[in-house]
Structure 1
Amino acid sequence: MSDPTPEVVPIWTLTTTAEMAMPPVKLDEAMSAGRLAELRSVLAVLAEAPVTTLEVRPKPRDIDTSRGLSFGSASPIAQQLSSFATQIPASGSAAKSSEVVYRMVVPAKVASQVSGGALNPMQSKAVAGGVHSALVGKKGIAAQATFVPVTASAATAGAMAVAAPLILLTVAAGASVHAEQQRKAAIERVTALLEKLHQDKLDDERNRLDGCRNAIDKATAVLLDRGNISSSLGLGPAVHVIDTAIAAAEHRAQGWRQALDGLPEGKVELPALTAAIEGIEDAGSEFYAHLELADLAVALKRRIIVLQAVEHAQQDEGNAFENFAAALKLDAQNLEKLISDLDDVRLRLSTLQLDRSHGFRDFTFSSSSVDRLLNTSQRLRDLGDGVSRPLGQSDIAIEIVQDSDGSVTVLPPTAAS
């Protein structure tokens, strides 16, 4: 098998403020992926403000853009990316194509605030435990890259481009599309449950929540195009519906945790568990529907928080990214408390040791009772799969696909490999 064809990847170092000087880091004419990773680590330590890196590669034929958020050629993101494209060296392989993929890597010191600890790395199928970036085709990695530093003005090697609006809009778009993926998954799960329940009240709760999506989509498009949100978009009523659902989820999570606190230590008899949490033994019960509705409310709230943070940051464009991260962190604290409570419920249920009833009249244990115990035990263990697994302080990568007509699609963030 022949080695992959080397490709030249232009790379920029971007900052959010013009007042920050480049740390004393030497940038050679070319560097490897390992050197680039070292550069990011050094910049994270030495730079006064977070420094992102931006790479550009030819667009793979089989990249999936259906899961992203699209913007027209006249959008601020597309225009600012186009301005960088004019600086690509003629020798760069990306310069040969009008369709490219930009990859922005956001430093770990702010990545946790951006992602909410909800991102998971894309797992490698080739190596157990390995991860890679989202920019891979069906045939795997197509080339070994050589990274060539590019400056905002070809003046001096080591200069940084000031790109606060681009960083803010890209990160906001990536966070928004990630939250939208969570919403889609949650609405699919809760819809499947409600089809079995035939509960009109829960149907209404689901429909009110899902009905907020159009207002959020419109407000997202307006803000990321640097417009102002007006009352005609209907975001205010949507926020009220979501906040009401969040309050209901908080109340339910508190009740579940209190019920679990009242269970005995060690093995728990199934009748005692079903008395504490009604419907826990039935996969189509209101308990599981309420759990999925809570996930749906959380996913929608994440999108609202991103919108509020963008609006706040754009009021002071001088330090947009810093304002964005601060607003996002502040608004997300209460939401993270709810997520933590829901994770606690799932984790405690998934680790319960269930036992059959040992009451005075329980002389026999029928096959149906055995099946009920085993099915409930498996169902509870499966709840552990829904527990959030934060990445901690990990850089995140956001892929931006630019087509020949100038339009761009921002893909969901992943952990930077």
Structure 2
Amino acid sequence: MTDDRKTTVPVWTLATTDVQVPGLTAGDSMTAERLAELRGVLAVLADQPIVTLEVHPLPATIERGRGIPLDAASPLAQHLSQFITQSARSSLTVARATGSGECLYRMVVPAKVASQLGQGILRPMVAKGGAGGAIFGDLVNSTGKIASKVTFMPVGGAAAAGTVGGAGATAGVAAAGGTALAVAAPLVLMAVAVGVSAHADQKRQQAIEHITKLLEQLQEEKLDDEHSELDGCRDAIDKATAILLDQGTLGVSLGIDSAVHAINTALGKADRRLARWQSALDGLPEGKAVELGTLTKSFPGVDDHGGAFRAHLELASLAVALKRRVVVLQAVDHAQRDAGNPFENFTRALKRDQQRLDELESGIAGVLVRLSALELARPNGLRPVFTTGEVERLLSAAHRIHQLGDGVTVNSRTTDVAIEIARAKDGSVVVFPALPA
């Protein structure tokens, strides 16, 4: 915060179906720490997913290009508007916080639910210009945690009429054991779907940037063709995303089938390359230094910033990011076909289809960690003394190979996940990539 006044942040507990939980909120204000404890208790005690929804002042500067925009007529925007309007009628705190029409909504999904969505799909990423990927500006401190001057005020459940995403689930209030929970499965489904999709697209954009630079140096036509074919899938995926989020149905004319085929072909190549890398590492003498020449036979360009090995890594990352967006589309489509339990269908579909992607990413991460731990041996030769250039190349190669393990996460522990939604005065929204809460 930039002044000495406390900001009161309304916070709701939202359920995806009727649940039985003890009365944990007494209507008193709470700190960020107490709110985090509340989320943990709810996640443990509730049989069905319970998320929290906060409303913050909209920061003056927000990088909207990172998110997925939805107009005011979209189901997610409409459902959010209805929910807030009805909440404001019964809560002065909500009315004050949302009166300007421009707010930043933050939905936090508990780690237990996030684990059902998968490890890789919500792996921590740092956004440009933000602490830990946060976009709260002055609302967070240098560590990315919400500033102590922000006070959270629990809000009772609010009936949000209507349906979202064609799921056919009407939101309402479930009073269970003294705690009023707003049953808002469609709102939660759509927010998670768009946030996860935006997260996957952010990873796609990063992979594209890296691949473009690498291929400009390599001038490898075959790899360039792989890149072009994958990048060409984006248009069909974007259109399919827009149609599904507007409650439409996917048709053959979109070209999504061709896109899925291209992505699956790229994933098959990534699987085969991973198997070769793992086999090459298994064949190295254990505990002994490895000559650089031996290493580059199996990992061409591993000692350079623009080698083919690094291009293969980025192509695999691009294929995974695109496939994750497709998986979200398939999960939303599947959930919308069953009016009874949209969110449960959604999580089941995600968990089933993205297991292969988690395994691929974990396998690649394992290869990078093993490579980074290797010790390079001096080149074999008859000369007892090596030139300055040869020594510098060996030291530079060792440094670059050891850097391969930087930032690599293998089997990371799933944390709570935050999905941030910026709402404009006209009711339109921008949903930002999901990130660790």
Q: What is the total number of aligned residue pairs between the two structures?
A: 410
Alpha-carbon distance between aligned partners in 1 of 2:340 and 2:30, rounded to the nearest angstrom: 32
Is residue 232 of structure 1 aligned with residue 232 of structure 2?
no
Alpha-carbon distance between aligned partners in 2 of 1:312 and 1:254, rounded to the nearest angstrom: 32
2:92 maps to 90
Within-5 A mapping of 1:299-318: 299-318=321-340
1:320 maps to 342
Whether the 8 Å CA contact 1:36–1:147 is kept in 2: the answer is no
Whether the 8 Å CA contact 1:16–1:321 is kept in 2: the answer is yes
1:289 maps to 311
TM superposition shift of 1:247: 0.2
Alpha-carbon distance between aligned partners in 2 of 1:243 and 1:24, rounded to the nearest angstrom: 48
Whether the 8 Å CA contact 2:2–2:138 is kept in 1: the answer is no
2:289 maps to 267
Whether the 8 Å CA contact 1:135–1:399 is kept in 2: the answer is no
Is residue 218 of structure 1 aligned with residue 220 of structure 2?
no
1:119 maps to 123
1:77 maps to 76
Within-5 A mapping of 1:348-367: 348-359=370-381, 361-367=382-388
Is residue 13 of structure 1 aligned with residue 35 of structure 2?
no
Q: 1:54 to 1:91 in 2, by over 3 A?
A: closer
Q: For residue 405 of structure 1, give the secondary structure of its aligned residue in structure 2.
A: coil
1:402 maps to 423
1:160 maps to 181
Q: 1:85 to 1:220 in 2, by over 3 A?
A: same
Q: For residue 355 of structure 2, give the secondary structure of its aligned residue in structure 1.
A: helix
Alpha-carbon distance between aligned partners in 1 of 2:291 and 2:2, rounded to the nearest angstrom: 61
The letter of the residue matching 2:57 is: P
Alpha-carbon distance between aligned partners in 2 of 1:133 and 1:50, rounded to the nearest angstrom: 24
2:4 maps to 4
1:376 paired residue among 378, 391, 397:
397
Q: For residue 405 of structure 2, give the secondary structure of its aligned residue in structure 1.
A: helix
What is the identity percentage for the equivalent residue pairs of Structure 1 and Structure 2? 50
Alpha-carbon distance between aligned partners in 2 of 1:253 and 1:211, rounded to the nearest angstrom: 24
Alpha-carbon distance between aligned partners in 2 of 1:388 and 1:214, rounded to the nearest angstrom: 30
Q: 1:298 to 1:75 in 2, by over 3 A?
A: same
TM superposition shift of 1:322: 1.6
2:365 maps to 343
Alpha-carbon distance between aligned partners in 2 of 1:90 and 1:114, rounded to the nearest angstrom: 36
Alpha-carbon distance between aligned partners in 2 of 1:109 and 1:284, rounded to the nearest angstrom: 40
The letter of the residue matching 2:386 is: F
Provide the TM-score with structure 1 as the length reference: 0.91
Q: 1:14 to 1:2 in 2, by over 3 A?
A: closer
CA deviations 1:269-321 (Å, max 9, x no partner) are 22222234333334333222112111111111111111111111212232221
Provide the TM-score with structure 2 as the length reference: 0.87
TM superposition shift of 1:190: 0.8
CA-based RMSD of the aligned residues comes to 2.5
Alpha-carbon distance between aligned partners in 1 of 2:92 and 2:410, rounded to the nearest angstrom: 43
Whether the 8 Å CA contact 2:10–2:93 is kept in 1: the answer is no
Kindly report structure 1 stretches of 4+ aligned residues shifted beyond 4 Å: 130-133, 138-143, 153-157
Within-5 A mapping of 1:126-141: 133-137=134-138
Is residue 330 of structure 1 aligned with residue 352 of structure 2?
yes
TM superposition shift of 1:387: 2.1
Within-5 A mapping of 1:136-215: 136-137=137-138, 143-153=149-159, 158-215=179-236
Unaligned runs of 5+ in 2: 160-172
Alpha-carbon distance between aligned partners in 1 of 2:255 and 2:342, rounded to the nearest angstrom: 26
1:34 maps to 33
Alpha-carbon distance between aligned partners in 2 of 1:139 and 1:318, rounded to the nearest angstrom: 39
Q: For residue 341 of structure 2, give the secondary structure of its aligned residue in structure 1.
A: helix
Alpha-carbon distance between aligned partners in 2 of 1:67 and 1:244, rounded to the nearest angstrom: 28
Unaligned runs of 5+ in 1: none
TM superposition shift of 1:121: 6.8
Whether the 8 Å CA contact 1:14–1:54 is kept in 2: the answer is yes
TM superposition shift of 1:3: 5.7
